[in-house]
Structure 1
Amino acid sequence: MIRLRILFGLLLLLLLHTSGLGGQARTLVRFDLDSLLSRGFPEYQPKLGGARVGLVMSGGGARGLAQIGALKVLENSDIEVDLIAGTSMGGVVGGLWAAGFSADSIERLARNVDWSSFFSDRPKRSNLFMTQREEGEKHLLTLRFDGFKPTIPTALTSGQKLTSLLNRLSIETNYGCRHDFDRLRIPLRICAVDILTAKPVIIRKGNLADALRATMSVPLAFTPLEIDSMMLMDGGLLMPIPVEVARDAGANVVIAINTTSGLLERDQISDAIDIANQTTTIMQLETRNNELSKADVVVTPDLGGKLATDFSGIDLMIAAGEAAMLEALPQIRAKIDTERYLCGDAASVRVDSISAPGFLRTNPTVIDLTKTARQGKLLTIFQIRQAALQILNSGTVSHLEVRHVESDSLGLLILESCPISPAARVGWVGNETISDGTIRSAISSCDSTENGADAIQDVYDRFSVLYRSCGYDLMEIDSVTYNILADSTTYYISEGLISRVMITGNDRTRGWVIKRNFTLDPGEPFNLEAAEKGMSNIYSTGLFERVNFDVERRENEALVRIEVKEKKFDHMRIGAHYHEHYHAETFADFADANVLGLSHELFFRVQYGEKRKYYSLNLKADRIFETYLTYRIKLYHERLKRDRYEDNVSLGFNRERRTGAMVAFGQQISKLGTVTIEARAERLRIDLPVFAGLIHRSLRSITLRSKVDNLDKYPYPDAGVAAHFYLELAYDAFGGEDRYKKAYFDWKAQIPLSDKLGLQPSFAIGASDVALPMFEKFSLGGNRNLYGYHNDALEGDKLFRGSFGLRYALPYGFYVTGRYDVGNIWSTLEEIRFDNLLHCSGVELSYDSPLGPISVSYGRAEREHERAYIDVGYDF
């Protein structure tokens, strides 16, 4: 992650011409241990002179994953990449490699990521409170307004899931390099385009995750990334293969990997994204060919007609990248050798003998040099430099100077140095929270007294494991110093404690509304898992289009910056469905999702259908201040045509009108469920044309309610359980006219048996102490609970139902389900007997469509009751 360049990071190299100087000594290398150690662990030091290899990584969407194979070949070769310039997918792959990820780890990431999930920003169901799910799983469409003007989305998604992934992968590296991409393991340039000015933007500083997200902002797929006054999008629009960027950054050997797409055939263009890709490709053609002509070596994996949107066959793409790079290696090496010669690294000096202090004569590198000299071979400046680096890396010298003396007949290489033995004492500075004893125990198994690069890296790794196991994810060793006089080595530690949490972008939302979802506080160690959970919690509030965070190094502490982009809070939710019983219905919510910036929602619902009309004014909050308390206040009016049945035969319908108010107050049980107490006051008017009567009633009741739900998806979960319990007490007081106690419990589960097959057991039970009013009785019937019967065909005061279903997932989002139901409803306890339970069964074919579930089912019950059902859309 942090490349150790302590012992050979910055060398003072004096590369001279090879012409004889009449025996005059020429210094080739000079090194001082203490001055180099003090420069700091993660700092990148550029090479002085020689060949500078620039790797240019292009876009191409899914095709760009082939570049992982090219990186695997480079990792296993002798070619050292000095710079990466990337755009689009190449920017992401190259950016992660520059940040210290191996090609194998990037490959594992590419295989494990669900690429299609990036095109949906809906939070996981498990990240939402129960009260959020109840409103969020009913509608089809949300329209947002800026004042009275509708706002049109600029892309399919804001890219929140992509942002979260990139942040998780880069936050520690970004902190370590101090937001300077030149201090990464390999210096990096990310290419983007500012669509406000139509100018290219080369990103070399800042938040690495933002830079990678910007270059991946494909038109129509992801919204532009707003940074300062710019709106950044895919760098491939203007720089599909940024060869010139690599040249400007100092590369003199440029390897360009070309994975860009060709033009699509007519039958391959099927949607708006295909059209956008085709348009982009057309605009890139001339620029792409021009950039490729400037590269020294072009590597083009054979991907055939692979589409940029096709993320299948990743193995084959990576293999194609490996094959193309292997084929190009000889050409790359030849170009590097040519550049070294032109820069002087390939210049040779004559070495007939080597003069070295006695303690160095047993050094393996010096022995190899001596053997070479005895054979009368010439040594290049590059070879001498590499040999010097190996000696320095051994940790046996405090300083080293390499000089060359050449006369007309002999060449002498002189190595001057002082020995350094393992330090007598090892210490550390900056460990404010981890004790000396704990650190000493952690590094006791390694040779912490050695001063070689490998030994110091081993010590650093032990520090890293210790601190990260304690939740200190930003711990760093800033520098290591060796005091020759005191014979001691000192490690300077920064523990990455949080100094401050800053929030930006919240124009309307109160800062504490955001902060209550982020659990890390000043003075605590920064922990990436906790920070990610906080970001997920903030995004799951539904108030923000985008949520990101960054961590800046401020002296020895970490400044956490939470960046949000607010949604337009005035919006309209629209839903519609066709229900087997209620027929076609639609609703609209007119809402303000962030009243006074407190994250309280005020909305007015209008629901209209043939049998049901419903109007309500609602004020609710998922959390009250910084607690997990929740409330809801509702005023409502409902008109319902309630069908009446006898032996599953319709007798007509009653007309019900309900006008009332409900206040609920309770507690969120994490994000698993709720416990609430509800007070209801309601006035009813019931017209009974079947019985030629009219009823006016007033109802006052208190309800204790508990809901639990950990189903992973809706409406077709793969696993989980949901349960609902309530106890309602109605009183003939405060204007109420009915008195009863009523309890109900239902439970259902989805139990996976395989990736396609799952069990669906469920049951429900209900009872009352007295005969319930006709408008409050339990009911059964319909394809949701008792096949073969009409919806709510059975009514009574005691209820039992059990079901056992088996669901199988078919291709293309289809499901087939078979279910067996048993149950009944009774008026008294004496009527309840096993022999009068009703036995029913049915089968359903359903489809998970963009409009919600579409199902066709058929069921049969005893007494020759049978019925077919059709439902389209979400329940509400």
Structure 2
Amino acid sequence: MRPARKTVGLALSGGGANGLSQIGVLKALEEENVPVDFIAGTSMGAVIGGLYSCGYTPLELEKIAHTLPWSSIVTIGRDDYSRSNVFLEQQRVRDRATVAIRFEKFKLVIPRSLNSAQALTETLDLLALGALYPAGGDFGNLPVQFRAVTTDLVTGKRVTISSGSLSEAMRASSTIPVLFSPIRRGSEELVDGGLVANLPVDELDAFRAGYRIAVDTHGSMYASGRELDLPWKAADQAMTILTKLQYPAQLERADIVISPDLQGHMATDFSDIDELVNVGYLKGKALAGTIKRSISDGGPEGPPVNIRGWRREVRFPSDSPEYIEHYRIVSGIVRNATDAKRALAELLGTDLFTRVRAELDTRRKRVLFHLEPLPRIERVRISGGPAGVLSPDLQAAPFQPLMGRAYTNREGTRALESLVRAYRDKGYVLVNLRTPSLTKGTLSVALTSGKTGAIAVSQDRNITGPTPVEREIRIDTSRAVVFSDAKESIDNLYETGVFNRVSVTAEEPRPDDEHLNSALLKFKLDEKPATVVRIGLRYDETNNAQALVDYRNENLWGSTSSLGGWLKAGQKNNIVNLEFNMPRIGSTQLTMSSRAFYDQHLFDHSNIVFDPQFLSQSSVETGSYDITRYGFSTAFGSRLGKNGRIIADATLQHAESKQDSETGVALGTGEADLLSLGSQLTLDSRDSQLLPTKGNLTNIRYSVTPVTLDNSELFWQFSGSHEENIPLSGRTTLQLSGLFGVSSSGVPLSEQFFLGGPGTAYSRRFVGLPENALPGNNIAAAGLQLQYSPPGEIIFPASLRLIYNTGNAWDRRGEIALARLIHGVGTAVVWRTPIGPARFTVSKAFSFLRNADDQETSTLRFSDTVLYFSLGHDF
């Protein structure tokens, strides 16, 4: 017989950030002991409902809501990559481009969305993987039966997902068209269910719910066109308009509607999660009493069986003393009963019994209640699970409060959940319960091994070969899978750059198959077309307008290697590069690259003069110089993590330097064929090339050019640089930097170090001096930069900088001295525009020298004021 209440179904609406108030509603219902048997959810309601259904408590959901990086999950950037975790070669390629266009078999591939939704995909996959209950298969087997409502973008019809991957169902229901890529499921292209049923009360019909609760968190619309300043706000407004048309019919189907007081809160605002949860909690608390009274009205079916004035007896399976406690608990129900059917329902509602029945003797007016309590637990035997993770005492600890006493089904369930949660807390995501059994006082609990029996991979285009995929999956099938292994595998695969989206799900072994003890892990890979064209545009005060075109196959023969080239054209510099890069050779950490190059660079050089007058213009231009280099280089080495490598390289080139115009003392020029051998260590963990807020850059290089070909004098170079970015707060970053370079004598101008300017491929950064201001065989510099990103916008999102650096360049090492250092200060603003960063800097150099190459010190003097401006990425 069932408890004396109606079954309860919950319909959770969409609403973006507003949907987080549903956590507060669930929290209130749990505190008031309002049961939830079924959930149907749309969009954010599907996410909250899906996670609750597979075992997450409202408190855990609240914690998750606080810890998730919502801004990165809902970002509209095309790629969700962490720059610090991609290959160095990919960092350079992506850093210099403004637009990337992909082709498949020479046909342009138009992106179907502004975002691949990888951050959302990974978040939901890992949450589902770490749930208490297996989140794959039939959702009707979850503790709370669940359905997710989606829309088929092809037919426009509603599609309800009730089985399969829970994370994919949640993701499909919350995929906003245009912003995120649709979820392909067979022939269906699934997107946000809010298009057809934002509040799916009618979906509770499939559960035959006796009482239907609608939780409406759709929020309000934007009041003016000025507020619709971002694509996702326009999409949210369109969704809200569509949902308004559906609501009347759905609300009529609900027995009660819970509408948290959102007070005009926008669906895109995740800034005040505490308040969102609290308004849901308050509304849930206010209506919980009404709900409890309403669901308790569902008494036993059929006419009552009147036992008023009858003699009552209670029978247990035996006369054992262990049932005395049960009798004391239920004696009041039996003694006060007037209806046998209702008495049985109330006895079953105590949750202490597996079966109850009443034997009626109408002649003698006697009723005999037969009660079968849950078997008593005297001891616990736990088997399976990964060895050595939990001690026997820790395994048995959740069951100690139940030993030797009466307990409820709910208490028994919570004890089993606590055992699984102990493994989840240790990171073991695939350790689950087999069917427990209780015989002669011994509770036998069998756990799965936590291993994966097999790893299955599905690819939509089948471009990438098995080796690049298998080498990035960090899961060992011989040991239990832990959370960090699963996350690292997803990140590794995605950060190869050849996949739009990487998803992982676990499929549990069938409960009736005792020979299966390991889950199946499924990786689903949405591949990018391999051919890509990148375009970049740039303007700066030194080199004027420049353009970049980069064409390459980024997944050559399915190996994740790249083959292609790039062209840079400008008034003062031109580059043509043909490149082959192999980030990893097979499954090893070895790497190699080769390139043929042509690099022509024209620059102006001035003699830097310091004057006692702060606003003087004293520097004298000495001429324009043209450096042209072309040749071939190859490198071989090993990766150091994703963002580092150490290599040995060889470069064969023709190098020529000449003076285009002469107005002063000329730099040494010449022409030679050179063969150089070198080694280099590079580590780059910065989150951005131009506007880093964390991470470091380290580069150390040594090269030697022997007497060979027409090079008549051996020369060598040793250089290094380091950049340390220290976050001081969420918006402020301190950057410390330093660099050095030393050389032997006889280094041609084309190979010398250059110092000056904001920092380019040709000249090391020194704010206060023009680009290429100080050439030399030896350089040293150190810098300090404070960067602040204000919360508002200055036309575009912006960052403000204060900069100080000191250093110099010298021809001979014997000239190096602290007294001969030049100092530079500057202030800059950097805007993040749609076509790339825009940077404007005002700077001034000062020193205790008359000229930059002076050997004797003087009083404090200043050089010319230097302005820098650039728009676009540096390439």
| TM-score > 0.5, shorter chain as reference | yes
How has the CA–CA distance of structure 1 residues 369 and 125 changed in structure 2, closer, same or farther, with 3 Å as cutoff? same
1:584 aligns with 2:537: no
Equivalent position of 2:856 in the other structure: none
Residue type of the alignment partner of 2:455: V
User: Which position in structure 2 is the counterpart of 1:622?
Assistant: 583
2:657–2:749 Cα contact (<8 Å) kept: no
Q: Secondary structure at the match of 1:341?
A: coil
Q: Which amino acid aligns with 1:550?
A: T
Which residue pairs with 1:483 in the alignment? 439
What is the one-letter code of the residue matched to 2:161? I
SS where residue 574 of structure 1 aligns?
strand
**After alignment, is 541-550 or 295-304 more displaced?**
295-304
TM-aligned CA deviation for residue 363 of structure 1 = 3.7
Among candidates 834, 846, 853, match of residue 850 of structure 1: 834
**Aligned residue number for residue 613 of structure 2:** none
Equivalent residue of 2:163, what SS?
A: coil
Q: Report what 2:855 is aligned to.
A: none
Choose from 263, 266, 281 the match for 1:322: 281
**Aligned residue identity for 1:161:** A
**Is the counterpart of residue 598 in structure 1 residue 559 in structure 2?**
yes
Identity of aligned residues (%): 26
Structure 2 counterpart of 1:22? none
Counterpart check, 1:111 vs 2:66: yes
AA paired with 1:855? R
Q: 1:684 aligns with which of 655, 660, 663?
A: 655
Secondary structure at the aligned position of 1:206 is classed as strand
The 8 Å contact of residues 589 and 639 in structure 2, kept in 1 or not, is answered as: yes
> Is 1:793 aligned with 2:773?
yes
Whether 1:830 aligns to 2:814 is: yes
Output one character per residue of 1:332-362: Cα deviation in whole Å (capped at 9) or x when no partner.
2343234x13745998754653334554696
- What SS is found at the alignment partner of 1:310? coil
Deviations 1:690-743 (A, max 9, x none): 469984321110111111222234422223322111111012225545520111
CA–CA distance in structure 1, aligned partners of residues 350 and 630 of structure 2: 86
Name 1:293's counterpart in structure 2.
252
After superposition, the Cα gap between the structure-2 partners of 1:304 and 1:392, relative to the gap in structure 1 and judged at 3 Å, is closer
Match in the other structure for 1:503:
457
SS of equivalent residue, structure 1 residue 134: helix
**Inter-partner Cα distance in structure 2 for 1:222 and 1:697:** 54
Contact 2:754 2:773 in 1 (8 A): yes
The aligned counterpart of 1:473 is: 429
- Please name the residue that 1:662 is paired with: 633
Q: Supply the distance in 2 between the matched residues of 1:418 and 1:325 (Cα, whole angstroms).
A: 34
Q: Which of the residues 574, 579, 583 maps onto 1:613?
A: 574
Q: What residue ranges of structure 2 are gaps of 5+ in the alignment?
A: 510-515, 609-618, 760-764, 847-860
SS in 1 for 2:508: strand
User: Which residue number in structure 2 is paired with residue 31 of structure 1?
Assistant: none
Native 8 Å contact 1:353 1:370 kept in 2:
no
Q: Secondary structure at the match of 1:615?
A: strand
Change (3 A) 1:436 1:837: closer
Partner letter of residue 573 of structure 2?
Answer: R
From 277, 282, 286, the equivalent of 2:236 is 277
Quote the offset at 1:445 in angstroms: 9.0
1:773 Cα deviation from its structure 2 partner: 0.8
Alignment of 1:229-628 (within 5 A): 229-267=187-225, 268-338=227-297, 340-341=298-299, 343=301, 350=308, 353-356=312-315, 358-359=319-320, 363-374=324-335, 376-378=336-338, 381=341, 384-388=344-348, 390=350, 392=352, 401-405=356-360, 407=362, 410=365, 412-415=367-370, 422-423=377-378, 426-430=380-384, 434=387, 439=392, 442-443=395-396, 447=400, 460=416, 463-464=419-420, 467=423, 472-484=428-440, 488-505=442-459, 507-554=462-509, 555-628=516-589
State the aligned residue count.
820
1:775 matches 2:750: yes
Given that residues 475 and 496 in structure 1 are in contact (C-alpha distance below 8 angstroms), is that contact kept between their aligned partners in structure 2?
Answer: yes
- Give the TM-score, by structure 2 length: 0.87
Q: Does residue 640 of the first structure (1) align with residue 638 of the second (2)? A: no
Instruction: Look up the match of 2:178.
Output: 220
Residue 871 of structure 1 aligns with an amino acid whose one-letter code is S
User: Deviation at 1:59?
Assistant: 1.0
The 5-angstrom pairing of residues 89-238 of structure 1 reads 89-118=44-73, 119=75, 120=77, 121-173=79-131, 176=134, 178-238=136-196
Cα distance per residue 1:220-266 (max 9 Å; x no partner): 22111011221101111111111111012211211111122455433
Offset at residue 507 of structure 1 (A):
0.8
Counterpart of 2:862 in structure 1 is: 864
Residue pair 2:4, 2:299 contacting (<8 A) in 1 also: no
Equivalent residue in structure 2 for 1:63, among 18, 21, 24: 18
Rounded to whole Å, the distance in 1 between the matches of 2:522 and 2:342 is 45
Pick from 654, 671, 675 the counterpart of residue 700 of structure 1.
675
Label 1:411 to 1:89 Cα distance change in 2 as closer, same or farther (>3 A): farther
> Matches of 1:345 and 1:733 in 2, distance apart?
108
1:564 is displaced (CA, Å) by 0.3
2:806–2:823 Cα contact (<8 Å) kept = yes
Amino acid at match of 1:327: A
Equivalents in 1 of 2:623, 2:301: separation in Å?
97
2-side partners of 1:327 and 1:457: how far apart? 29
Distance 2:816 2:840 in 1: 33
Q: Which moved more, 1:250-259 or 1:775-784?
A: 775-784
Structure 2 counterpart of 1:73, which letter?
A
Deviation at 1:428, TM superposition (A): 4.7
Q: Secondary structure at the match of 2:89?
A: helix
The answer to whether the 8 A contact 2:150-2:173 is kept is yes
> Deviation string for 1:64-122 (max 9, x for gaps)?
22222211111111321111011111111111111111112212222332322122442
1:384 aligned counterpart, secondary structure: helix
Deviates more, 1:587-596 or 1:145-154: 145-154
CA contact (8 A) 2:468 2:560 kept: yes
Counterpart code for 1:323: L
Is contact 2:357-2:369 (8 Å) kept? yes
Report the secondary structure of 1:811's partner residue. coil
Report the Cα distance in structure 1 between the residues aligned to 2:693 and 2:31, rounded to whole angstroms: 43
- Going from structure 1 to structure 2, the CA distance change for 1:715 and 1:363 (only over 3 Å counts) comes to farther
Following superposition, the deviation at residue 186 of structure 1 comes to 0.4
In the alignment, which of 701, 713, 716 is matched to residue 741 of structure 1?
716
Q: What amino acid does structure 2 have at the position aligned with 1:496?
A: G
- Whole-angstrom distance in 1 between the partners of 2:135 and 2:48: 18
- 3-state DSSP of counterpart to 1:492: strand
Identify the match of residue 754 of structure 1 among 714, 722, 729: 729
Q: Secondary structure at the match of 2:671?
A: strand
Query: How far apart, in 2, do the equivalents of 1:104 and 1:558 lie?
Result: 28
Q: Which moved more, 1:62-71 or 1:537-546?
A: 62-71
SS in 1 for 2:296: helix
Q: Tell me how far 1:749 sits from its aligned partner.
A: 1.3
Contact 2:201–2:251 under 8 Å retained in 1: yes
Kept after mapping to 1: 8 A contact 2:4/2:346 = no
* Aligned twin of 2:616: none
Once the two structures are TM-superposed, the CA of residue 216 in structure 1 deviates from its matched residue by: 0.3
Gaps in structure 1 of 5+ consecutive residues: 1-12, 14-46, 394-398
Q: CA–CA distance in 2 between the matches of 1:796 and 1:688?
A: 17
SS in 2 for 1:378: coil
597-606 or 285-294: bigger deviation: 285-294
Letter in 2 for 1:146: E
Query: SS at the partner of 2:704?
Result: strand
1:724 aligns with 2:679: no
* Separation in 2, partners of 1:490, 1:110: 36
